[in-house]
Structure 1
Amino acid sequence: MTSSDMGAAPPVSRTEYVAERLKQDVASGAIKPGELIKQTVLAKRYGVSATPVREAMRLLAADGVLSYSPHKGASVREMTPDTARDLYRLRAAAEREATVMAVERMTPAGLETIREKHAALDRAQRDGAATAAALSLMNRAFHFAIYSQTSPLVVQHIELLWSRLTPSTTVWRHPPDAHELEKDHDQILEAIVRKDAQAAGDFMAQHIQRAYKIRESQPELRAAGSDEREDFGNV
């Protein structure tokens, strides 16, 4: 779920439109880490000129989503061990607080949506037919059904953190891990239902920490980029 799902969205500039589309393509795995992004291709895909594409790339580079140089072009940043560790620490803190806020502001309709997203992921796991990427997207839908009960500001902040991870590098690829992650979801939902905001937040933070441990335990998922400090400066 994106912030636009939370009500009537105000008009946006072409640059903002392209930036949002780019973030969605990165989050969905349509654009993969390290893949060279061509301005002309994106301009055609999004139906705009090259200028808003270039400006959107600059914005996402400043946010750390892209690596961008006027001479070399742009690509999705490769995850480094430092970045992965920092990202999950930030996610655990931000998503804990977002969950607490969500419980405090929960509406009956919001709770029903959360239940539906949880049930959809549970069915997909039990059926065993869904791909890891599909499970990852359903996991995202469950999380953002919760965060959508807060505010657009909170959702936008968490969306930015999530944009650094793609379904192609999901921790939902191995059934035993997916089962443990889904058990976490059970605990989170149970705490939400009983209106225990602090417990729900704590369970969410533990869930994010579990995901990080899974990622670190598997060579194919572990961040392998250079651990030199990333330069987020002149872009």
Structure 2
Amino acid sequence: MTSRDRAAAPPLSRTAYVAERLKEDVASGAIKPGELIKQTVLAKKYGVSATPVREAMRLLEADGVLDYSPHRGATVREMTPDTARDLYRLRAAVEKVAAEMAVDRMTDAGLAAIKEKHAALAQAQRAGTASPAELSMMNREFHFAIYRQTSPLIVQHVELLWARFTPDTTVWRRPEDAAELQHDHDDILDALVRRDAAAAGRLTAEHIEHAARIRESEPDLRAAGHDERQDFERA
């Protein structure tokens, strides 16, 4: 959620406010996977007491964004191969529906905002001055300009899925991959302009599957954390 969106939104409880800020910091890479999260530091940073920070961290632990250990404390959950594959499959399904809904509910102003984010990313690629992390954040802005045409519920659900991938592990690193992903964006935008909900949904799902293939093909991007499946089966 941008500062403009936050200003337009209804007031949040302190816990919801902290949870929103935490998700933003995880998604932007300001808080990295495996990094210890200190309640006192976050309370000072967000200008709240320790109580809403503690409650927000519990919410994000329940959502799978954070891990908590009595001995170590809270950390951003590290990606595992199974988790990465599951997340991309979930993203493809959820964002397909979100793109279809966006077409149904999109206003002229909403479409203009989507075009603006698309053009900004295209310009950054042409200029060649943006870092991969910056391209990743601009990619996020393009996608969420689309999803914000749906409802806060949809946006919050998609945000939880995106929060597990940080800009420093982006698939937008190699220019050839970035060019292909932006071509996907061109096709998605064309479907949105034509108000073709089915095409927008299908192309969005294919785009996410494309990103998943890029991640799997590059060893230093492929998730390498401990596989959680056996732990889950024993629980």
Q: Where on the TM-score scale, by shorter chain, does this alignment land: which range?
A: over 0.9
Q: Secondary structure at the match of 1:120?
A: helix
Residue type of the alignment partner of 2:102? A
Q: Determine the structure 2 residue equivalent to 1:204.
A: 204
Q: Determine the structure 1 residue equivalent to 2:37.
A: 37
2-side partners of 1:166 and 1:2: how far apart?
A: 17
Q: Determine the structure 2 residue equivalent to 1:81.
A: 81
Shift of 1:2: 5.7
Q: Determine the structure 2 residue equivalent to 1:139.
A: 139
* Residues 3/93 of structure 1: CA separation in 2 closer, same or farther (3 Å cut): farther
The answer as to 2:188 corresponding to 1:188 is yes
Q: Secondary structure at the match of 2:101?
A: helix
Q: Determine the structure 2 residue equivalent to 1:228.
A: 228
Q: Moved runs in structure 1, 4+ residues, more than 3 A?
A: 1-4
Matches within 5 A, 1:82-231: 82-229=82-229
Q: Secondary structure at the match of 2:226?
A: coil
1-side partners of 2:140 and 2:128: how far apart?
A: 18
Q: Determine the structure 2 residue equivalent to 1:72.
A: 72
Q: Secondary structure at the match of 1:18?
A: helix
CA contact (8 A) 1:100 1:198 kept: yes
Shift of 1:69: 2.7
Gaps of 5+ in 2: none
1-side partners of 2:170 and 2:214: how far apart?
A: 10
2-side partners of 1:60 and 1:3: how far apart?
A: 21
Residue type of the alignment partner of 1:62? A
Gaps of 5+ in 1: none
Deviations 1:131-169 (A, max 9, x none): 000000100010011111111111111011111111111
Q: Determine the structure 1 residue equivalent to 2:23.
A: 23
* Residues 218/63 of structure 1: CA separation in 2 closer, same or farther (3 Å cut): same
Shift of 1:4: 7.8
1-side partners of 2:142 and 2:10: how far apart?
A: 25
Deviations 1:48-95 (A, max 9, x none): 222221111111000000001344211100000110000000000000
TM-score in terms of structure 2 length: 0.94
Shift of 1:179: 0.5
2-side partners of 1:96 and 1:4: how far apart?
A: 26
TM-score in terms of structure 1 length: 0.94
The RMSD of aligned alpha carbons is 1.7
Q: How many residues align?
A: 232
CA contact (8 A) 1:2 1:159 kept: no
* Residues 88/4 of structure 1: CA separation in 2 closer, same or farther (3 Å cut): farther
